[in-house]
Amino acid sequence: MIMDAVSVRVPATSANLGPGFDAVGLAVSIFATVTVRPGVDPGQQRPDAMRRMIASALRAGYQRAGVAPPGHVEIEIDSAIPLGRGLGASAAARAAGLRAANQLLAGALSDEALLDVGTELEGHADNIAPALFGGLQISALDGSRVIRVAVPLPPGLQCVGFVPELSMPTHETRNLLPKRLSRSDAVFNSSRAALLVAALATGDWDKLRIATEERLHQRPRSQLFPQMFDLFSAGLNAGAFGAYLSGGGSTVMSLTDREHAEQVRDALAATAKRLDIEGTPFITDPCAEGATILEPA
């Protein structure tokens, strides 16, 4: 059966959560919907970054299955996920392309194969795992193989963020990171990462203030966005359990509960205004579903 079009809804993601560098990612309820029409000449359709990543992932999925990809593909995108802001836009694009390819291939690729291909395209698995599968995902590389575990989250957690107008592309901010860590800093990070997963999994959210601390990537990245720490403090002082730079930035994310979500959002907005930072505050939920095929209307 030849399909005329495939539509995929994919969530944004928030990676690292402080100390879980390249290993921890959370899907959040901000979405992009991607429609792929194989065999249709895109004509004058603008080849923007999202379309290029979707098309590349679609081709990679076909290649993994050993099938020639379609010669022409038309791609439509309706996205609320901002580019270059640490909310996993590239992973969302690639997850959508891979999920669409697998639908067109009648499910020829396993979940493990989709994750392996997505990680190859992304360079790390922290965003692509929750983009594909939803929820809180922990991933580790074993050679070229990606090992992942989905961690159930107790209900009630809210994600409150601030998206600055400042773009911080991940490939640029990675160049700021240190080549080595001291043993004390390595222990600091590993203990916080373990505490982070345990606190989230058990709902012991009072531990998140400590568990979201880290000594690897946020301070180096603050060279581009020094006000991030003021925003962290604003969220924590307003009742957030923990605060961190989402992915490579520039979004600042706070984890809280429903009772405190609005006052955390308002505190982030007020602090940004005081510091003359243009941007948008938001409240959202963790998203249990990853890239999902939408039924035709």
Query: Which pLDDT band holds residue 78 (cuts at 50, 70, 90)?
Result: very high
In terms of domains, do 131 and 251 share one?
A: no
Q: Is residue 234 part of a domain?
A: yes
Residue 38 in 3-state DSSP? strand
In terms of domains, do 170 and 141 share one?
A: no
| pLDDT, averaged across the chain | 94
Tokens, residue 136 = 């809180």
In terms of domains, do 13 and 137 share one?
A: yes
Residues 6+ positions from 220 with CB-CB distance below 8 Å: 173, 176, 177, 178
In terms of domains, do 20 and 135 share one?
A: yes
Between CA 50 and CA 288 the distance in angstroms is 23
Tokens, residue 295 = 């039924």
How would you class 257 by CB atoms within 10 Å of its CB: exposed for 0-12, middle for 13-18, buried for 19 or more? middle
In terms of domains, do 39 and 129 share one?
A: yes
Do 86 and 173 meet the contact criterion of CB atoms below 8 Å apart?
no
Mean pLDDT along residues 121-136: 97
Q: Is residue 1 part of a domain?
A: no
CATH number at 180 reads 3.30.70.890
In terms of domains, do 163 and 278 share one?
A: yes
Q: Is residue 135 part of a domain?
A: yes
Q: Is residue 259 part of a domain?
A: yes
Q: What integer pLDDT is reported at residue 171 of this predicted model?
A: 76
In terms of domains, do 236 and 133 share one?
A: no
Query: Which pLDDT band holds residue 3 (cuts at 50, 70, 90)?
Result: low
Q: What integer pLDDT is reported at residue 297 of this predicted model?
A: 45
Q: Is residue 11 part of a domain?
A: yes
In terms of domains, do 205 and 276 share one?
A: yes
Domain count, the chain: 2
In terms of domains, do 113 and 190 share one?
A: no
In terms of domains, do 84 and 205 share one?
A: no
CATH number at 142 reads 3.30.230.10
In this prediction, what percent of the chain has a pLDDT beyond 70?
A: 98
Q: What integer pLDDT is reported at residue 2 of this predicted model?
A: 46
Do 10 and 32 meet the contact criterion of CB atoms below 8 Å apart?
yes
In terms of domains, do 16 and 129 share one?
A: yes
Between CA 43 and CA 141 the distance in angstroms is 40
Mean pLDDT along residues 282-293: 98
In this prediction, what percent of the chain has a pLDDT beyond 90?
A: 88
Q: Is residue 220 part of a domain?
A: yes
Residue 222: give the domain boundaries: 157-284
In terms of domains, do 133 and 161 share one?
A: no
Do 25 and 88 meet the contact criterion of CB atoms below 8 Å apart?
yes
Tens digits of residue pLDDT in 47-64: 789 999 999 999 999 999
Tens digits of residue pLDDT in 212-243: 999 999 999 999 999 999 999 999 999 999 99
Write down the pTM of the prediction: 0.95
Tens digits of residue pLDDT in 81-108: 999 999 999 999 999 999 999 999 999 9
Q: Is residue 228 part of a domain?
A: yes
